[in-house]
Amino acid sequence: MAEKRQISDADKQKILEQHGSRCFIDGEPFSDDASVEFHHIQPFAFGGPTTLDNIAPVCKKHHRSLGTMSLQEYRDKIDLSKFFEGGEPKYLNDLIQYKTKNSDKPINHEISQSKIRLYYHDSTHDFPTYSCPTTGWKYFYGTLPVELIGNDRELQPRPLREASLWKLYRHFQLNTQISPSICRMEQPGSLLLFDGQHKAAAQIWAGRPMIECKVYINPDKRLLKETNLDAHGPYRQMSFYSHELMQKYADIFGEDWNEYMETEGEKSELGFYHFLVNAKQKTIAQARNEIALAMFKRIVDDENNGLSKFLSEKSRGRKQPLSFARLKKTFFQHMLLPPPVEDEFESESDFREDEKINLIKLMNIIAQEGLENKWNPERNDSTHKKAERIFGAGAIRAWVILLRDAINFHLRHYTDEERKRFFYRQIADGDFQYFRQFIKKIFSHKIWDDPDPSGEISARLAKDDATTAKSLFDEKELSVRWVLGA
Ligand SMILES: [Zn+2]
């Protein structure tokens, strides 16, 4: 994870002046200096924008509710809720109208043998055309101005969904759009988008002026409608979910997953769990374990997970401090909401992705503070021996619980329900700076570098049970109170 740029007081003054001493989110003037905080405008993870231009002032209240969002994302999120306010169904046209104040105009164009010429406001663009070998329909690919696009109420009668749109918006903050949206062009030149409308809408919401499209020119509408229904009938729901999680689950569950996706209705872990038990005759324990395993694998296989390289499974031959089984008994057992949850995949209430990101962030801090440039079995020096004690089988079981309790305390999780949903929520970057302090504090305790000639302490830390290391922590006053203390 990138560190936030430290900005000087002079920089802060400059930024404040640029923004007229108003909160970036709602433009409210600041009441006093104490309520001003600073945050990046575009997602920091994008790389690059560490310049002052990418930092804006924000009031304390809004800063607290940012979660993992950048200022621009948060502003877009508030605007999106406003757009969907009132509960009336909203269509792509409405969204384009809202964002561009102009939509669905016939485009002046000329079609010739092998190309189509489109006339925009003040420029002309030629696109080569191709014809489909089966139907003979002509089509072209183009990156087209948003205001020329309308939605296809005949072929795409469904309204937009806020949750799907928001998830895709977030997805496109970091990922490219792999496949284009599909349109047809009807005389006298209406460009109607009928497939990939959430993708298109998400890009438009992010302020992109152009959308990537494949456009059929005057196709047989009736036949296209049937084709489109065929393509989406059985997989009706799938187009709502972005690919990463679905792909991962498809890889892990294979046919079971594909069959489940073909069933009617909303999709969730709980739905899949029932499907495994009822249609696939799995036992309750099997179904739960399979879903849990898929969650764990997503976390371990994530390329951003800096702790994974310290797993024995990930690097054979070298002695490693951790194993998949150990992660199950520690981080996964104590820091993940046990499946199956009933929240619809990628809906507003589904925080599995956030949970994954939060845990990986925490694991990265642990790798940085406890293992990187420290774990070195070949050298086997005192730094390595200390890391060995910290990551002893019983020790890690005990301090993961200690760390979890400290974080619960910091995040003011008072009820069992809040504690259960430990990382199943958005957590602000600023909180992770506290988590790093907790981890540093735990790893700085004298328990880890006791010379201990008898070897008794090392043996107690290594004992793989839930109580031996814990009782040693108690004796040596390695407690939540000590971790949280100044
Ligand atoms: Zn504000």
Tokens 């496109």 belong to 172
The pLDDT score that the predictor gives to residue 234 is 42
How far, in Å, is the centroid of ligand 1 from the Cα of 39? 12
Could you give the CA distance from residue 309 to residue 416 in angstroms, rounded to a whole number?
A: 33
Which amino acid would we find at residue 417? E
How far, in Å, is the centroid of ligand 1 from the Cα of 174? 25
How far, in Å, is the centroid of ligand 1 from the Cα of 58? 5
How far, in Å, is the centroid of ligand 1 from the Cα of 427? 18
The pLDDT score that the predictor gives to residue 451 is 72
Confidence band, pLDDT 50/70/90 cuts, at residue 231: low
How far, in Å, is the centroid of ligand 1 from the Cα of 89? 29
Query: Which residues, in sequence order, are bridge partners of residue 56?
Result: 39
The mean pLDDT of the chain is 87
Could you give the CA distance from residue 151 to residue 197 in angstroms, rounded to a whole number?
A: 8
pLDDT digits (tens, 9 = 90+) for 105-151: 788 899 998 999 999 878 899 999 999 999 999 999 999 999 889 88
The pLDDT score that the predictor gives to residue 458 is 86
- Could you list the beta-strand ranges (E) of 158-281: 181-186, 190-195, 210-217
How far, in Å, is the centroid of ligand 1 from the Cα of 411? 21
CB under 5 Å of ion ligand 1: residues: 23, 25, 59, 62
Confidence band, pLDDT 50/70/90 cuts, at residue 340: very high
Take residue 10 and report the two structure tokens written for it: 């002079």
How far, in Å, is the centroid of ligand 1 from the Cα of 197? 32
Could you give the CA distance from residue 176 to residue 172 in angstroms, rounded to a whole number?
A: 6
Could you give the CA distance from residue 366 to residue 16 in angstroms, rounded to a whole number?
A: 36
Q: Could you give the C-alpha distances from 421 to 70, 171, 334, 401, 418, in angstroms and in order?
A: 23, 23, 10, 15, 5
How far, in Å, is the centroid of ligand 1 from the Cα of 196? 34
Answer yes or no: are the C-beta atoms of 473 and 447 closer than 8 Å: yes
Task: Give me the torsion for CA of 431, 432, 436, 439, rounded to 10°.
Answer: 90
Could you give the CA distance from residue 177 to residue 4 in angstroms, rounded to a whole number?
A: 28
- To the nearest whole percent, how much of the chain has pLDDT over 70? 93
- Max Cα-Cα span within the chain: 89
Can you tell me the mean pLDDT for 307-326? 88
Which domains does the chain show, CATH number per domain?
9-71 (3.40.1800), 86-232 (3.90.1530.10), 236-285 (no CATH), 302-484 (no CATH)
pLDDT digits (tens, 9 = 90+) for 355-375: 999 999 999 999 999 999 999
DSSP string, 106-161: PPEEEE-SSEEEEE-SS-EEEEE-EE-TTT--EEEEEEEEGGGEEE-TTT--PPP-
